[in-house]
Amino acid sequence: MSVKAGSGSAASWDRRAERGAMLGLRFGVAFFRLVGARLCLLLAIPVVTYFFLTDRDGRRASLDYLRRVHATPDGRRVLGRPPTRWTSYRHYRGFALAIVDRLDLWLGRESRFSFEFHGREPLAKLVKEKRGVLVLGAHLGSFDALRALARLDRVVVNLAMYTNHAARINRVFRDLSPEAEVRVIPLDPTSAHSVFALRGCIERGEMVAILADRVHPGDRRRRCEVPFLGAPASFPTGPHELAAVLGCPVFLLLGLRTGRRRYDVVAERLFERVELPRRPPERAARVASYVADYAAALERHVLRAPLQWYNFFDFWEQPRSGRMS
């Protein structure tokens, strides 16, 4: 298959997925407003049970991941017994509960939640000094806890996303929570425009946030393999290359669910600044070292809450399979 054909296929898949995501976002918000959080939680159980029973590939990937977790000393301590289908079902159920919380947060109801912050002080100091920060997140727990941090510290958060629907998503966010200083900026790896836009955010002392644990279908060339849960896994290099361009401190931010509307929000400084050599071989090696540090930090927190890492596809085979969740 040629590069051109593969790129077109990935882009087509991505556009279809985005259209479905937008429809799902609008439907989910409307339904949540109609029936409320309590009934949504009750209805989430039969819905997630249906998806669990019909998603054979997802079940297989979930169980493979959980077995990798259990193979580590920390993972065995958290999971206890070797993972079974019931453990995988709990993995799915956790995802459903996180979605209900996400809708609640999107509606601007942060005051109904309890957030316990860890490592917030260094981040708050940079915000107070009007220094821009790049925040790297993951599909672990809830990245939407960043909205609560934005409101508390009165800082604008710019979500860098691979999307063709940034304007629509921003309208939805404004409709749901007009006071929240969170906006989406489209990220296009083939264009310098989005990088200049994000640099402007940093210069204004704002936050730029991006998920850094999943290789995007339209950007598969910018990835490298680093150790993760005992085996090489592909992670994107784009977020770390972006950090070098922005020239600002880099933090890992995660929101781990500890109960109904209760979260531990962890802010961990990863790098004071990402610096990359110009020569390609040295540059690739340096990028890989930054990615490995991020993956190691992510692994520590995944082992704290393994049922909250929501990637229901074969993560260790993603470049070859092309399946994304």
Provide the percentage of residues in the chain whose pLDDT is more than 90: 50
User: Which helix (H) or strand (E) is 74 found in, with range?
Assistant: helix 73-79
**pLDDT at res. 323:** 40
**pLDDT at res. 104:** 79
- Which residues of 174-261 form beta strands (DSSP E)? 182-186, 207-211, 223-228, 231-236, 250-259
**pLDDT at res. 26:** 60
**pLDDT at res. 167:** 57
Q: Is 97 a residue whose pLDDT tops 50? A: yes
**pLDDT at res. 169:** 59
Closest CA to 107 of 41, 182, 165, 168: 182
Closest CA to 224 of 315, 292, 282, 138: 292
DSSP labels, 296-318: HHHHHHHHHSGGGB---S-GGGH
**pLDDT at res. 321:** 40
Q: Looking at residues 136-164, what average pLDDT do you find?
A: 83
How far apart (Å, rounded) are the C-alpha atoms in residues 191 and 194? Answer: 7
How far apart (Å, rounded) are the C-alpha atoms in residues 141 and 257? Answer: 6
What are the pLDDT digits (tens) for 296-314?
999 999 999 999 999 999 9
**pLDDT at res. 34:** 66
**Residue 75 burial class via C-beta count within 10 angstroms: exposed 0-12, middle 13-18, buried 19 and up:** buried
**pLDDT at res. 80:** 93
The residues, any chain, with a CB within 8 Å of residue 308's CB and separated by 6 or more, are 94, 98, 140, 141, 256, 257
**pLDDT at res. 161:** 82
Q: What six digits make up the tokens of 141?
A: 């727990």
**pLDDT at res. 6:** 38
**pLDDT at res. 271:** 96
**pLDDT at res. 166:** 56
Q: Looking at residues 166-174, what average pLDDT do you find?
A: 59
Q: Is 325 a residue whose pLDDT tops 90? A: no
How far apart (Å, rounded) are the C-alpha atoms in residues 112 and 260? Answer: 10
**pLDDT at res. 282:** 93
How far apart (Å, rounded) are the C-alpha atoms in residues 203 and 200? Answer: 5
**pLDDT at res. 8:** 42
**pLDDT at res. 177:** 59
Closest CA to 11 of 151, 162, 135: 162
**Residue 320 burial class via C-beta count within 10 angstroms: exposed 0-12, middle 13-18, buried 19 and up:** exposed
Q: Is 213 a residue whose pLDDT tops 50? A: yes
Higher-confidence residue of 39 and 235: namely 235
Q: Looking at residues 136-156, what average pLDDT do you find?
A: 84
Q: Looking at residues 130-156, what average pLDDT do you find?
A: 86
Do residues 252 and 297 touch, judged by C-beta distance below 8 A?
A: yes
| Mean pLDDT, rounded, of the chain | 82
**pLDDT at res. 206:** 92
Higher-confidence residue of 289 and 318: namely 289
Please give the angle made by the CA atoms of 217, 218 and 221, to the nearest 5 degrees. 90
Alpha helices in 84-161 (DSSP H): 85-106, 120-128, 145-153
Q: Is 220 a residue whose pLDDT tops 50? A: yes
Q: What is the pTM of this model?
A: 0.84
